[in-house]
Amino acid sequence: MVPESWLADRTRAVEVSGVRKVFELGRSLKDPINLSIGQPHFDVPDPVKAAAKAAIDAGHNGYTVTQGIPELRERLLADVNARFPGQDRDVLVTSGTSGALTLAALAVVNPGDEVVTPDPYFVAYPNLAAIAGGRLVTVDTYPDFRLDPDRVRAALTPRTKMILLSTPSNPTGAVADRAAVEAVAGLARDRGVLLVSDEIYRAFSYDGPAASPAEFGEDVLVVEGFGKTYGMTGWRLGWLHGPRRLVQEMAKLQQFTFVCAPAPVQWAGVAAAGHDVSGLVADYRRKRDLLAAGLRDRFEFALPGGAFYLFPKAPWGTGTAFATAAVEHNLLVIPGGTFSRRDTHLRISYAASDDTLRRGVEVLNRLAERG
């Protein structure tokens, strides 16, 4: 038995992910209708697989420089310079976007500092703040999940060190309004607070490109990744770009934590960076519409503009109660309380086959009638 005295306070402050609990539950069910998984249901594109295999066969299996292989960094930096001309931004290749966010928290947040983020939020955010010794301060966005700069302003205190945005959002799929993003970027700049923009779902924006706060100034740290866009979630390849001095400090931390992103996967990233996924994105928009049309009569929700999640209000009870009842019908969805201070909603992933979505819609509507 591990004595309590062995454990650091940060260990006690970190909670087991509610999403992982559902994943484990799904393994115990026979052929579940799984609408819980936050990863694309399509496979890695063949050219990207081939690049990874070729890299392994060519002997690219050792450490790389911490910042990432030059071939990938040059490709990424060219993309950044094209999107944000005139800015002096640097690039760091990371072990997934979670690795990038962890480095950001460790580089910026001191014990007692506050990280402000809209609620609902990605499940990792409160735990990342806790690992660094800080705490998450949430800004309510219910019922339509719109980013309100006035509410963000009201949440700021002298202890605020970071504002953390996610657009398109996990879990709501909301895409922040351009004017609101610009206002929050200006607010962060005026208050001397680092704005971190989690843009892992940037490719999945269905009504035109989502606005990045980096468009409104170079003092923004942007986190991006390959996992969602190319189905490479298990390959753990992310990247970030931001102010040169900050990125250099984060690279220093990476030297003594993650060391580097997996070498063969970085070479695969070179191939992935030029791969067209517009057809896949269009298909996911269609899946969004299929799910929304199927649930519209019995569920209350804001139509998501991006990512691949629907975040409806539970038609009865709490989100946890409804999700628990769904398990009895072999259906897996995530209670909204996993991502929020409220337990009133559900996260439904439409990263699934059409058949799975239709089966899920049938069960969800049947359960809704119980209320």
Q: Which of 244, 272, 300 is the last residue in one of the domains?
A: 272
Residue 18 has pLDDT above 60, yes or no: no
CA dist., res. 75 & res. 273, Å (int): 7
- Distance, in Å, from the CA atom of 171 to the CA atom of 206, rounded to the nearest integer, reads 16
Domain boundary among 217, 252, 272: 272
Q: Is residue 20 part of a domain?
A: yes
Whole-angstrom distance, CA of residue 36 vs CA of residue 31: 14
Q: Mean pLDDT across the stretch 2-24? A: 72
CB within 8 Å of 242: residues ≥ 6 apart: 89, 90, 214, 218, 220, 221, 222
Q: Is residue 57 part of a domain?
A: no
Q: Are residues 236 and 281 in the same domain?
A: no
Are 118 and 242 members of one domain? yes
Beta-carbon count within 10 A of 281 CB = 17
User: Is 76 in the same domain as 36?
Assistant: no
Same domain, 93 and 164: yes
Supply the pTM of this predicted model: 0.94
DSSP H or E stretch at residue 33 = strand 33-34
Regarding whether 81 and 142 lie in a shared domain, the answer is yes
Distances (CA, A) of 258 to 8, 66, 123, 187, 243: 21, 9, 21, 32, 21
Contact of 333 with 348, CB cutoff 8 Å: yes
Give the total number of structural domains in the chain: 2
Asked if the structure places residue 56 within a domain, the reply is no
Q: 5: Cβ–Cβ under 8 A, 6 or more apart, which residues?
A: none
Do residue 268 and residue 324 come from a single domain? Answer: no
Residue 206 lies in a domain: yes
Residue 180 lies in a domain: yes
pLDDT, residue 24, reads 66
CATH number, position 347: 3.90.1150.10
CA distances (Å), origin 22, targets 33, 101, 322, 361: 12, 23, 14, 19
pLDDT tens digits for 258-315?
A: 999 999 999 999 999 989 999 999 999 999 999 999 999 999 999 999 999 999 999 9
Q: Has residue 350 been placed in a domain?
A: yes
Q: What is the mean pLDDT of the chain?
A: 94
How far apart are the C-alpha atoms of 136 and 228, rounded to whole Å? 25
In this structure, the answer to whether residues 158 and 268 fall within a common structural domain is: yes
Residue 125 has pLDDT above 80, yes or no: yes
Instruction: Say if residue 72 is in the same domain as residue 174.
Output: yes
Per-residue confidence (pLDDT) for residue 371, from 0 to 100: 66
Residue located via tokens 């700069």: 149
Q: Are 205 and 305 in contact (CB under 8 A)?
A: yes
Please say which residue of 237, 272, 307 terminates a domain.
272
- Which tens digits make up the pLDDT trace of 151-202? 999 999 999 999 999 999 999 999 999 999 999 999 999 999 999 999 999 9
Q: What's the farthest any 2 CA atoms get from each other in the chain?
A: 60
pLDDT tens-digit readout, 295-311: 999 999 999 999 999 99
Burial 140-154 (b: 16+ CB within 10 A, else e): ebbeebebbbeebee
Domain span holding position 185: 62-272
Q: Look at residue 14 in the predicted model and tell me its pLDDT.
A: 77
Model pLDDT, residue 26: 63
